[in-house]
Amino acid sequence: MVAINLKGIAKVTAKGRTYYYAWRGGPRLVGEPGSPEFVASFVEARQNVPKSNEDRFRALVARYKASGEYQKLAASTKRQWEPWLSRIADYYGDLRLLQFGRPERIRPIIRQWRSRYVQTPRTADYGMQVLSRVLAHGVETGVIANNPCEGIKHLYRNDRSEIIWQDADIAEIKASNRPEIGHAVDLAATTGLREGDLLRLLWSQVRDDAIVVATGKSRGRREAIIPIYDELKDVLARIPRTAVTVLTNSRGRPWRTGFTSSFDKAKKRAGMAERDLNFNDLRGTAATRFYAAGIPERVIAEILGWEEEHVARIIRRYVSRSAATKELILQLSRGKRRT
């Protein structure tokens, strides 16, 4: 095969494999060097970013949108990020990338942009999240020395670390809604899994003694192992098996989309719309259920991916003193028997 010399191509070798990019920090090229597929991907990449603008921030936004990392984002995330990427490109587009390597000079400009949304702190922080991700891509691909968003504190402050659903809250939302909402609430309150992991949970991952599932937040690198204790066993027994997933919608099919909006509507039907309770706050509820089932705080922390001190604070706050004392006596008794 005849190699064609295409100007500006970046060659990277990693773990014994060689990759080619349209330019340093640009999209990866496909096919073998010199092949029609290779040349076509190079031409397409170059058309997306004019040569005269490659050193401008607008080009970095375009490269990020063309990257495999962005393409792997969930469709819902891309829908939310797209408007922000356009705003960011419009505001910073003509600045040279070199300026973003000087944090002391670019941070005042970033803060000035964020101040446009200061009346809605959560919105301002969300925009900063998207900007930071674009800049992180620039650092990872070597076109920016560092990420100037690092070190800029969030505007929104809301400590949810010890907010949980109590039994009365759970009974209230279940009483006003269809069974599939109740199943989701009960399973969250007894497993401690996040919403995304719960909706993906398969019956094949429910074993005789434990639920074993790779968590989405760790991108599959970490497994959550939840022991099947009595209360969790009862919850699983009440859920009908109508699909490969444990949780299903009103048609008995896996939740592909729509769960979050359905849950928000469920809260409204129960008269709980103004109550400061999110679905993932059920993870704290699970911590108290685990403790009542005799699971040690250290193991609870491992299951939930929390610090042990965080688990201990929730237990102290929400589990009755008598229940905690009885558990301590049981633990001491077991220790004496072992001795």
Which H or E element spans position 224?
strand 223-227
Assign a CATH topology to domain 54-158.
Answer: DNA polymerase; domain 1 (1.10.150)
**How many angstroms separate the Cα of 74 from the Cα of each of 63, 79, 200, 226, 249?**
18, 9, 14, 27, 20
Classify each residue of 285-301 as buried b or exposed e, where b means 16 or more C-beta atoms within 10 Å of its C-beta. bbbbbbbbeebebeebb
Q: How many helices (H) and strands (E) does the chain have?
A: 15, 4
* Per-residue model confidence as pLDDT tens digits over 32-76: 888 888 888 888 877 765 545 778 899 999 999 999 889 888 888
The angle that helices 75-92 and 121-140 make with each other, rounded to 10 degrees, is 80
User: Where in the chain are the domains?
Assistant: 1-48, 54-158, 167-338
**Structure token pair of residue 139:** 């650092």
User: Which pair of tokens denotes residue 336?
Assistant: 């004496």
Q: How confident is the model at residue 273 (pLDDT cuts 50, 70, 90)?
A: confident
| Contact between 17 and 35 (Cβ < 8 Å) | no
Q: Find the helix or strand (DSSP H, E) in which 21 lies.
A: strand 17-21
Predicted pLDDT at 263: 93
Do 54-158 and 167-338 agree at the fold level? Answer: no
* Residue 92 confidence (pLDDT) above 60: yes
pLDDT at residue 59, rounded to an integer: 92
Segment 290-334, tens digit of pLDDT: 998 889 999 999 888 888 888 888 888 888 654 555 555 555 665
Q: What is the DSSP string of 152-184?
A: PPPS-----TT----HHHHHHHHHTS-HHHHHH
pTM above threshold 0.85: no
CA–CA dist 259, 256 (Å, integer): 8
Please give the Cα distance from 95 to 134 (Å, whole number). Answer: 14
The pLDDT > 90 percentage for the chain reads: 41
Find out whether 268 and 176 touch, Cβ atoms under 8 Å: no
Give the distance between the most distant pair of CA atoms in the chain: 80
Compute the average pLDDT of residues 283-291: 93
| pLDDT score of 25 | 62
pLDDT of residue 48: 65
Rounded distance, CA 262 to CA 185, Å?
A: 12
- Supply the pLDDT for residue 150: 83
**Per 3-state DSSP, what percentage of the chain is helix, strand, and coil (rounded to 5)?**
55, 10, 35
Mean of the per-residue pLDDT values of the chain: 85
Residue 280 has pLDDT above 50, yes or no: yes
Separation between Cα atoms, residue 58 and residue 65, nearest integer Å: 11
Nearest to 202 by CA among 254, 147, 161, 135: 254
Beta-carbon count within 10 A of 257 CB? 12
CATH label, 167-338, candidates 3.40.50.300, 3.40.50.880, 3.40.630.10, 1.10.443.10: 1.10.443.10
Instruction: Examine the pLDDT at 26 and tell me if it is beyond 80.
Output: no
Average pLDDT over residues 115-133: 88
Can you spell out the DSSP letters for 287-334?
HHHHHHTT--HHHHHHHHT--HHHHHHHHHHHS-HHHHHHHHHHHHHH
Is the separation of the CB atoms in 106 and 99 below 8 Å? yes
Of 23-37, 170-184, 266-280, the least confident: 23-37
Find which of 104-118, 152-166, 206-220 is predicted with most confidence, using mean pLDDT: 104-118
